[in-house]
Structure 1
Amino acid sequence: METRCSRTWVLGQRGCAGVGLLMLALGCGAAEEREFPPEAPGEVVRELGACTHAVTTNTYVGPDYWGTLVFKNTGTVAIANPRVSLDVPSGVTCDDDQPGWAHTQSGRTCTFTRTSSLTVAVNASYTFNYSTDSSTSFTATHVKVQSDSCGGTAPGGTGLTANQKKVAEALTSIWENDTPTLDYAYSENIHDGRGYTNGRAGFCTGTGDAIQVVQCYRALRTEANGNRLSKYWSALTVINNRFLSTGQSQASTAELDAVGGWTTDWAASFNTAATKADFKQCQDQVSDALYYTPIMNEAAKWGLTQALTKAALYDAAINHGEDGARDLIRKANTALGNSAQVAPVIGYNGITESAWLQKFLEKRRDVLAGDSTWADAVDRVAAYEKQRRLGNWDLGTALRNDVRARDCWGTTYPSSGYTVRAINPDGTWSTPASFTYACQ
């Protein structure tokens, strides 16, 4: 199961996802065997939006049976998990998928879909290679790049409203930073084997996601124009290449430390008025592309429509990674009698969304409690269970995280020690003067 690491204020532990810049997604810890195989690209049908891009290279060398497309993201949002389609000459067959890709062919049109996470930042270029059975050189035609992040919507539902998303992100920020306010300036080496952990979503220098933020930021602002992180690009690339080649999280920050004070420069990038907006935009963009958009599409696939369920899924994606959240979804389905993973699950053999969310949270509780790295973060699951019991499905009622796993499921669970906050339906928040722990 691909995992994302928890950040726990009791232990001072924070974590990060492993994704790899423009490459195959990898877990933030040691690689583990998947309990379920990755989904085939055809399993999730998405209404994809056309992405603004420019094709700067388009060649197919017949003697090498090798095609190369280089496209540049010329839009204003990151391209997440792109789908690339192109037309080949009549009678030519596409074959030999490259790592991270799978293809289908209809007539002359070959369509390539991601099998693992990939983000192409604004103004970044991506080199896409393909192969066919043709020994004759040609130029592919009708090249298209599409993604749900470029304006498409997921089938059967949409994401959260603006206020619901604020509430969901505020809740997750409590678990990540002990405050509902997203901490864009945060940067620290917590010595968890993943380098420096940074920003609103715990982007790590040793697992391939912090580099995506920096890549985006470099596209918006040069070093001469105040980009304090640009000077680290070569060092980040060295670390990222080591991560990609080994599949292992990179603990060393030596290359970064030789350049300057990384944590100081990360914080200053947000705290400086001139650069704050650009730096915030890039963190938001990468977080949405890696976590929010994919998990909202998962919710739509399974027929999950309630804001509370989507908030719980979003938190799981931030905590466990997209594949980890998918694994929990499958476990919940199986526990409710849907071992065949029939979608949508809501309505299948009478399964309700309340019953499904309850089972999903129980499965996630067990994963957290059963892992020494995550055990002290188990209370984050209880917050969603309390709202389920209260029926706060649209997140339209003010809520508090004044609940622990032991309040919902028994005294065997440790107390995580999160500060209790009160979050309003519009995302504003306060710290209550008093409270009583309870699960309903």
Structure 2
Amino acid sequence: MTRVVLFGAPIAVAVSVYFGGGGESQRPKDDPSLRVSPTAFAPDPLKAGSPAQQRERDDRIDALPAGLADPAKKEIAARLVASAENSTLDWKSQYGAIEDIGDGNGYTAGIIGFCSGTNDMLQLVEYFTREHPDNPLARYLPALREVDGSDSHEGLGAPFEAAWAKAAEDPEFRRAQDVMRDRIYFDPAVRLAKMDGLSTLGQFIYYDAMVLHGPGLGQDGFYGIREAAMKSADTAAEGGDEKAYLNAFLDAGRTVIGRQKTEQTRDSSRIDTAQRVFLREGNMDLDTPLTWRVYGETFRIGS
């Protein structure tokens, strides 16, 4: 994990969207009414503009093909991410997983690698506790708030690990993990990828980058990587070649990975021998069968 803390100052983002057309690998066609001004500053480019503009933009995005949000494609995405995050395709077995992998983010746990040091674990436990106040993790909220932004285990340790595993036996905690995965990572990544005119593969590349680097606004977070890529190549929504843009995005993400502190976190195989392979093969719809390598292991989906 190279994920950065989920805090940050606003970033300038220019977003163009285009809609329409049937056929394979459907992507939107240009629609000036959905463009966000390059001078608009907002932490979330999906919320830029007036409420009316936001509603119109949301309606246009909702009218697009499902892409990665299609249940079958979302399942593929979950398995791809699990191969990198947990060395398994069985992502549903990971709700109770918890460990410190030594990446400076404290505990990493659950289906998406929620981290005690990067705010998303805190958001998850706060959300679950609002819904279910008597859950086993509720007593650890003060400690989670204290360690947020660090790799500390102060006030957590083995009892917290046991409480996480116990909570994961509850279907409601598993549902809460699904909800927060989608709220923090999946939905923003997929919707923004659609705004950038990207195919299902492009949507997955955004999602995996959001998971790996976090939705941070600095140069090492997702939005910083996107900004760097947009300086090198036009998005499909801006009339650019999608493959060229995605290669620029992967290059920018790989640069961030290369700045990490440990050999483990500097491994870029989830780009080099997975996403880049799909892109080189032109598998823009992320169709199966898929074969890829990540962190030295080979994985397959489909025959």
Does residue 257 of structure 2 align to residue 371 of structure 1?
A: no
- 1:18 matches 2:1: no
Q: Show the counterpart of 2:208.
A: 315
Number of positions where the alignment pairs a residue of Structure 1 with one of Structure 2: 262
The equivalent residue for 1:261 is 159
Structure 2 letter corresponding to 1:301? M
Residue 236 of structure 1 pairs with residue 149 of structure 2 = no
Which residue in the other structure is 1:179 paired with?
88
The alpha-carbon deviation at position 365 of structure 1 amounts to: 2.6
Aligned to 2:122: 211
Compared CA separation, residues 333 and 155, structure 1 to 2 (3 A)? farther
User: For 2:197, what is the secondary structure of its paired residue?
Assistant: coil
**Using a 3 Å threshold, how does the CA distance of structure 1 residues 262 and 284 change in structure 2: closer, same or farther?**
same
CA apart distance, 1:209:
1.4
Kept in 2, the 8 Å contact 1:155–1:301? The answer is no
4+ residue segments displaced more than 6 Å? none
Residues 99-114 of structure 1: matches in 2 within 5 Å?
none
Contact 1:154 1:300 in 2 (8 A): yes
Residue aligning to 2:196: 302
Structure 1 counterpart of 2:200, one-letter code: A
Please point out which of 279, 299, 315 is paired with 2:173. 279
Tell me the CA shift for residue 266 of structure 1: 0.7
Bigger share in helix: 2
Q: Is the 8 A contact 1:175 1:377 kept in 2?
A: no
Q: Equivalent residue for 1:201?
A: 112
What stretches of structure 2 of length at least 5 have no aligned partner? 18-40, 46-50
Cα deviation code 1:377-430 (max 9, x no counterpart): 21100211111222221122210114x7xxxxxxxxxxx32x211113xxxxx9
The residue number in structure 2 matching 1:342 is none
Q: Deviations over 1:284-312 (max 9, x none)?
A: 111111111211222122211x1111111
Percent sequence identity over matched residues?
28
Give the match for residue 251 of structure 1: 151
Greater strand percent: which structure? 1
CA contact (8 A) 2:67 2:73 kept: no
Q: Deviations over 1:228-268 (max 9, x none)?
A: 1122123223434xxxxxxxx222222224xx611111122
The change in CA–CA distance for 1:209 and 1:347 in structure 2 (over 3 A counts) is: closer
Q: 1 CA distance for matches of 2:12 and 2:196?
A: 14
Structure 1 residues 366-405: aligned runs within 5 Å:
366-373=255-262, 376-382=266-272, 383-402=274-293
Q: TM-score, normalised by structure 1?
A: 0.53
Quote the Cα distance in structure 1 between the aligned partners of 2:44 and 2:206. Answer: 19
> Residue 422 of structure 1 aligns with which residue?
300
Whole-angstrom CA distance in 2 between matches of 1:303 and 1:214: 34
Query: CA distance change for structure 1 residues 155 and 44 in 2, over 3 Å: closer, same or farther?
Result: farther
Letter in 2 for 1:230: A
CA positional deviation for 1:190? 3.1
Match of 1:325 among 208, 222, 234: 222
Go from structure 1 to structure 2 and tell me whether the alpha carbon gap of 1:252 and 1:347 turns closer, same or farther (over 3 Å shift).
closer
What is the aligned partner in structure 1 of residue 32 from structure 2?
Answer: none
Aligned residues of 2:290 and 2:300 also touching (Cα < 8 A): yes
Tell me the residue number matched to 1:57.
none
**Counterparts of 1:366 and 1:176 in 2: how far apart (Å)?**
19
Measure, in 1, the Cα distance between the counterparts of 2:283 and 2:166.
38
The yes-or-no answer on 1:291 pairing with 2:200 is no
Deviations 1:64-123 (Å, cap 9, x if unpaired)? xxxxxxxxxxxxxxxxxxxxxxxxxxxxxxxxxxxxxxxxxxxxxxxxx96369xxxxxx
User: Which protein has the larger Cα radius of gyration, Structure 1 or Structure 2?
Assistant: 1
RMSD of aligned residue pairs (Cα, Å):
3.2
How far residue 366 of structure 1 moved from its aligned partner, in angstroms, is 3.2
